[in-house]
Amino acid sequence: MNVALQKNQLTTRLLPFLAWLPLLDRATFRIDLLAGITAGILIVPQAIALAVLAGMPPEYGLYTSIFPVVVAALFGSSWQAMSGPNTALCILISFSIAPYASPQTPDWVQYAITLTFLAALIQLAFGVLRLGVVFNYFSHTVMVALVTGVGIIIVLQQAGNLTGLLMSAGLPIEDAFRQVLFNLHSTNPYALTVGVATILSGLMVKKFRSKWPHLLIAVLVGTLLAWLLDTLFGSARAQIDKLGTISLSALPFSAPDFSVQHFSEAKEGLFSAAFLVAFLGLMQSAVIARAMAVRSGQAVNMNQEVIGQGLSNLAGSFLSCFPSCGSFNRSASNIESGARTPLAAIISAAFLAGLVFFAAPLVRELPIAVMAGVLILVGMGLVKPGDIKHILSVRGESRIVFLLTLGTTLFSGLNNGVFLGIAVSIIAYLRATSKPEIEILVGDGAKQYLPAESPEGVVVQISGSLFFGSLPAVELAINDLGNQDQRRGTLVISGEHIEHLDGTSAEYLTREALRRRKNGGHMSLWLRSHNLDAVIATSGLRAALGAENIFYTQAG
């Protein structure tokens, strides 16, 4: 029975879709079908706009909204989270490749595909090493700052396309703003009218008809207005730029290129960018998966989610996709539509594939100003005034961390913002874990631990992890007690809530036990179970205390 159970668990871990396939009854299939069709329709304008944001031809946004979505649905852990092109990643891709190529050129596309492959390997390494749990510890404040920074960057960088100006790619936001300001006299009023109409229609629909697809409606309004202006004033006068030719392929095979002529110049930048893309993508995927789990009640395996994201990008690098990760908009739409299983994501990808092949001529006529308007709507949607107000209203380090991360993201680039966010989150976590709860028990709380012959002993209760980082706090507390009793009295360590004990901490407790024995004192240790026995034995703590002075509250 145990062997069969272990075999079944292994199979489910290797093929996680086997866990939800048996749930596909008629009712579930119908609900997932409707949710998938809805998601497939909604992603069209965003996929194209995000491809443009990443410097890629529009069709690559569609590919990235199809192939990685299917792989992540089959091999991920969350049943409601959906993957695809992501706004923050697109900004990071654009900044990373800009020094080496021009947007939408073959070299740019090749660098993006190679970047996807490298990021996939890093993500798979995290999953195989079972480090997915790391992404549960990143600060919410850091994520809000990064996402807010991305939203502001998008709005400012799309100002050029909105006004019909030719902008340089990958400019810092202050340079982009200056370039727009100095070229306002060259603004195309027709393009500006189309872009503003796109934004206003999207905002109005979102405010007054929140359940309607506001991005899709905004695209329709902007495109119809552009057609009307072309008709009334003539396309030669209006000069509203369109997306142009889209070359779609049913199986757009590609491959990463590490040849000298295509990789040597950019390898340093691509390797560092791959780490950032992998890390930022997994951070956002983890946040989305946890948010969906809260709504659905599903238990998410973060390591499996990391592996699913890695496999989706690995497959994407051979199918003309740029890096993808969990999508806020698609996941929220998916769960609001009532999706029960990842089948909804697979259906959305299949429906999108059919839709774009039939609608390719219409996609080619989408005005650039409309895409700029959609991206500005996306960027505005990333800035959450409520979250920002809450963080800034709380006194303490959260406010400083938010402003520092946001400022770095805006004025030093998203890559430096991510690095700073990683460092700040790690420091915050280490600070939290390096302060175990230490309490001196008295009265009835202490009696249960003290032997009848030494009722005046001291009981120190320690909760948390005891490792080299948290040891100074424990040393200080015990040394203070030692100054009072010269280590001659009875000391009991109540450690039922010690979750982890490393060798350094065990050796310190060993020295403390030996000092107390030398001075005629006594020391004992209480633990919840035997899970720390190995380190207690190898450090010499068991011998220093004596086996008779180690107690367990749980049998076995």
Q: Is the domain of 374 the same as that of 407?
A: yes
For residues 376-382, average pLDDT: 84
CB atoms within 10 A of CB 198: 32
The more confidently predicted of residues 184 and 518 is 518
Strand partners, 491: 458, 523
Q: Is the domain of 150 the same as that of 208?
A: yes
* Residue-wise pLDDT tens digits, 54-63: 999 989 999 9
Domain that holds residue 443: 437-552
Element (H, E) at 166: none
What do you get for the CA distance between the two ends of the chain, in Å? 23
pLDDT at 4: 55
User: What percent of the chain is predicted at pLDDT more than 90?
Assistant: 35
Q: What is the pTM of this model?
A: 0.72
pLDDT at 1: 45
CA distances from 154 to 61, 83, 91, 146, 162 (A): 17, 20, 8, 12, 12
Q: Is the domain of 509 the same as that of 361?
A: no
Element (H, E) at 551: strand 550-552
pLDDT at 481: 78
- Predicted confidence (pLDDT) at residue 169 exceeds the cutoff of 90: no
Q: Is the domain of 229 the same as that of 335?
A: yes
CATH, residue 514: 3.30.750.24
Number of domains present in the structure of the chain: 2
- Predicted confidence (pLDDT) at residue 335 exceeds the cutoff of 90: no
- Predicted confidence (pLDDT) at residue 350 exceeds the cutoff of 80: yes
Per-residue tokens: 4: 């069969």
Q: In angstroms, rounded to a whole number, what is the distance separating the alpha carbons of residues 533 and 345?
A: 47
Under a CB-based contact definition with an 8 Å cutoff, are residues 319 and 252 in contact? Answer: yes
Per-residue tokens: 291: 């948010």
> Could you give the 3-state DSSP secondary structure of residue 383?
coil
Q: Is the domain of 323 the same as that of 421?
A: yes
Q: Which of 262-266, 322-326, 357-361, 447-451 has the highest mean pLDDT?
A: 322-326
Q: Is the domain of 289 the same as that of 347?
A: yes
The residue among 429, 448, 466 that closes a domain is 429
Q: In angstroms, rounded to a whole number, what is the distance separating the alpha carbons of residues 251 and 256?
A: 16
45-73 b/e with 16+ CB inside 10 Å = b?
bbbbbbbbbbbbbbbbbbbbbbbbbbbbb
Q: In angstroms, rounded to a whole number, what is the distance separating the alpha carbons of residues 113 and 54?
A: 12
